[in-house]
Structure 1
Amino acid sequence: MTTHHALMAALQGLSPSHLTLDNESHMHAGYYDGKESHFKLVIVSDNFADKRLAARHQAVYAAVSPYLMANGGSIHALAIHAYTPSEWQTIHHAPNSPNCAGQNKH
């Protein structure tokens, strides 16, 4: 199972109504085909209602903890954009990711 699929499965525990997970590894130095080290997550869930941003991120980190590099996994970076359904209705998209300072120049 790829890291992407494992993350998607792990995040189902947060009961998302919308979930996108983009592998952005190609935007970072040291990229090679198939690398899964940098991800951008957009997750919308009723579970985030009445939770501050830090608590939302903590819930996501708890769900994906085994896949983070700090815990022996392969994920070096996870950009988290966590919204309630009502917040998502007003924005419909997450911000673009910044370029990595060490990004490959192809």
Structure 2
Amino acid sequence: MQVKPFIESTLTANLQPIVLEVLDESFMHNVPAGAQSHWKVTVVSEAFSGLRLIQRHRRINELLSEALAGPVHALSLHTFTPHEWQQRGESVTASPQCLGGSKDASS
């Protein structure tokens, strides 16, 4: 499975986003090269209007269940209505560096 095209096409077809950004952040983690295991997804859609954050995330997890059952280990979701997106200044906070599982942040 090519994860990025799957995520993009599935979310586009089901949520008609006005903003969709799908970033493979696997390189930031202790995984084999080409793992396609860690993803950051930003979705701005009217489909989220009236939905709580947990409902938005559940909807995306349902839509992407095939990828989540396979190569995707972690999915960082940033979900907004167009109004929320505009209020944020149309940006998302950068992802933190991975600590590598058992690595201690104080080391």
TM-score, reference length from structure 1: 0.88
Structure 1 gap segments, 5+ residues each: none
Residues 54-69 of structure 1 aligned to structure 2 (within 5 Å): 54-68=54-68
Please, which of 82, 90, 93 is the counterpart of residue 91 of structure 2? 93
- Matching residue's letter, 2:50: D
Moved more, 10-19 or 36-45: 10-19
> Which residue in the other structure is 2:105 paired with?
none
Deviation at 1:99, TM superposition (A): 1.2
Deviation at 1:37, TM superposition (A): 0.4
CA RMSD of aligned residues (A): 1.3
Identity %: 36
Q: Structure 1 stretches (4+) deviating beyond 2 angstroms?
A: none
> Which residue in the other structure is 1:75 paired with?
72
After superposition, give the CA deviation of every residue in 1:10-55 in whole Å (9 maximum; x if it has no partner).
11111111100000000000241x2210000000000101110000
Please, which of 67, 81, 86 is the counterpart of residue 84 of structure 1? 81
Deviation at 1:94, TM superposition (A): 1.0
CA distance in 2, matches of 1:52, 1:62: 15
Structure 2 gap segments, 5+ residues each: 102-107
Deviation at 1:98, TM superposition (A): 1.4
> Which residue in the other structure is 2:104 paired with?
none
CA distance in 1, matches of 2:52, 2:100: 32
CA distance in 1, matches of 2:24, 2:31: 14
Deviation at 1:95, TM superposition (A): 1.3
Moved more, 94-103 or 6-15: 94-103
CA distance in 1, matches of 2:31, 2:54: 30
CA distance in 2, matches of 1:82, 1:4: 17
Please state whether the residue corresponding to 1:50 is helix, strand or coil. coil
